[in-house]
Chain A
Amino acid sequence: MLDFAESLVRGVGQTVSITACAFLIGAVLGFPLALLRRSRNVLVRWGAALVIDTVRSIPPIVVVFLVFYSVGSGAVRLGTFQAAVIGLGAISAAYLAEIYRAGIESVASGQWEAANALALPSRKMYVHVILPQALLVAIPPAATFAIGLLKDSAVASVIGAQDITFFAFQESQATLQGLTIFLVAAVLYIALSLPVAGLARWSDHALSKRVAT
């Protein structure tokens, strides 16, 4: 069992870095996408919604394959890691855009009115008034999404990225002790998601305290 653990731990680095990079891409790209989703221009709004809904309705495994076989097979040779990060990053952007948007829309209308009445320029209003309140609301659902992403990162193994699931599959093929090996894999995933879940709980608590007082 310890041997298996030792073998699977080799994949932790890839699992964590695929998750972290994809989440980072999503966290950055999700923001402009959320703003486009709130545009005053109907076409822009619909366009953004179409992109978000399309990406969200394709299974992650299909997205990763699509990236791997389209972008990755053309002029630019993509490694398995890059392909997985791009695919999962696109999915993250779509989900986080909706999470940001919900956060922004949760800010009370009086806050927007006060910022407008005080003649704050649009960018300053977002930076100093709206986003500090919106992001706090967005943290718990974003953390929940991050845990889901950590699990979804296992699809990277199907294109050959050497993550936890990749090594688990390899070991089980070699030793035929699949149950034990995948139990070890499950424990590893749980261990990795605990800190994120902790962050979610903590921020949720901090938020409710702030709303209550």
Chain B
Amino acid sequence: MPVTTTALLELRDICVSYKHHQVVHNVDLTVDRGEVVALIGPSGAGKSSLLRSINFLEEPNQGQVLLAGQRVGVLDRRGRAVPANRRQLAEHRRHVGMVFQSFNLFPHLSALENVILAQVHGLGRSRSAARERARQELEHVGLSDKSNMRPASCSGGQQQRIAIARALAMDPMLMLFDEPTSALDPELGIEVLNTMRRLADEGMTMVVVTHEMHFAEEVADRVVFMADGRIVEQGPASEVMNNPRHERTQRFLSAVKNR
């Protein structure tokens, strides 16, 4: 199996189905180290399903996921590929940070404890090291003063930044964002987008499902346009956003830009 040197993430022939309804059709996608890829497209295009198949929150029913050249999510048992168990998936997931549309912070824990929890129980860090790291990450997203607050006492934008801090504390190689600003007022969305922009500037590899066209154009290195479960068009952000070649992309972009 050839190993590409710069590709951090490689998706080959990924298919995702719910029951009998296929939502992702044979998608290939490669993401280089340090690259920021924006997945755009109409709702129902399969963007989120594709993103979630990367860390197996949605198990692809066909295809391969390779992280840093290693095939993940399957075990080679006497030459036959069988689905990985929970422990092996966890091994993969700790390298992949995920930020959800609905934040999904743990409501019974303070902001600081939210960031500490998986460091201690997932990575096996000592409590004091995890606490120190959690402080740093909360400071990084500008929320040191919210450390002892429960999520419910924070604004949506703050909650999403805590969620970003929680994911970053695990030292991920790759960050996945699933419509991170869709549940937020535009004003609060900005602070989340600024946090993500800084993360991109720091060289984090990111795959972002988004409806924020400005963000896609300004921050992403590459824009991937999906429709009906397939990649229709992809290329450098400015090119896809300003001179889309495919008719379907043109239709989508003119619709969202004229809103």
> Which residues between 32 and 75 of chain A lie within 8 Å of chain B, taking CB atoms?
none
Contact A119 B91 (CB under 8 A): yes
Tell me if A179 is interfacial: C-beta within 8 Å of chain B.
no
Tell me if B160 is interfacial: C-beta within 8 Å of chain A.
no
Contact B100 A110 (CB under 8 A): yes
Nearest A residue to B100 via CB reads A110
Chain A neighbourhood of B90, CB < 8 A: 119-121
Chain A neighbourhood of B97, CB < 8 A: 117
| Interface residues contributed by chain A, number (CB under 8 Å) | 21
Nearest A residue to B101 via CB reads A110
| Per-residue interface assignment for chain A, residues 105 to 130, with 1 indicating a CB less than 8 Å from any chain B CB and 0 otherwise | 00010110111111111101000110
Contact B122 A118 (CB under 8 A): yes
Nearest A residue to B91 via CB reads A119
**A213, B152: Cα distance in complex, Å:** 6
| Interface residues contributed by chain B, number (CB under 8 Å) | 30
Tell me if A198 is interfacial: C-beta within 8 Å of chain B.
no
**A213, B154: Cα distance in complex, Å:** 10
| Known contacts A119-B118, A213-B153; A114 and B108 CB within 8 A of each other | no
Among A110, A117, A122, A133, the residue within 8 A (CB) of B102 is A110
Contact B86 A122 (CB under 8 A): yes
**A151, B45: Cα distance in complex, Å:** 57
Q: How far does the Cβ of B99 sit from chain A's closest Cβ, in whole Å?
A: 9
Contact A118 B93 (CB under 8 A): yes
Contact B104 A120 (CB under 8 A): no
Contact B121 A116 (CB under 8 A): no
Contact A117 B98 (CB under 8 A): yes
Tell me if B203 is interfacial: C-beta within 8 Å of chain A.
no
Contact B121 A114 (CB under 8 A): no
**A213, B86: Cα distance in complex, Å:** 34
Chain A neighbourhood of B102, CB < 8 A: 110
> Which residues between 119 and 147 of chain B lie within 8 Å of chain A, taking CB atoms?
121-123
**A187, B90: Cα distance in complex, Å:** 56
Chain A neighbourhood of B57, CB < 8 A: 113, 116-117
Contact B104 A119 (CB under 8 A): no
Among B103, B122, B152, the residue within 8 A (CB) of A119 is B122
Contact A119 B108 (CB under 8 A): no
Q: How far does the Cβ of B61 sit from chain A's closest Cβ, in whole Å?
A: 18
Chain A neighbourhood of B252, CB < 8 A: none
**A117, B104: Cα distance in complex, Å:** 11
A-B contact pairs, 13 of them (CB 8 A): A108-B104, A110-B100, A114-B106, A117-B93, A118-B122, A119-B118, A120-B118, A121-B90, A124-B121, A128-B117, A132-B108, A133-B107, A133-B108
Instruction: Report which B residues bind A (CB closer than 8 A).
Output: 55, 57, 86-87, 89-91, 93-94, 96-98, 100, 102-108, 117-118, 121-123, 152-153, 166-167, 170
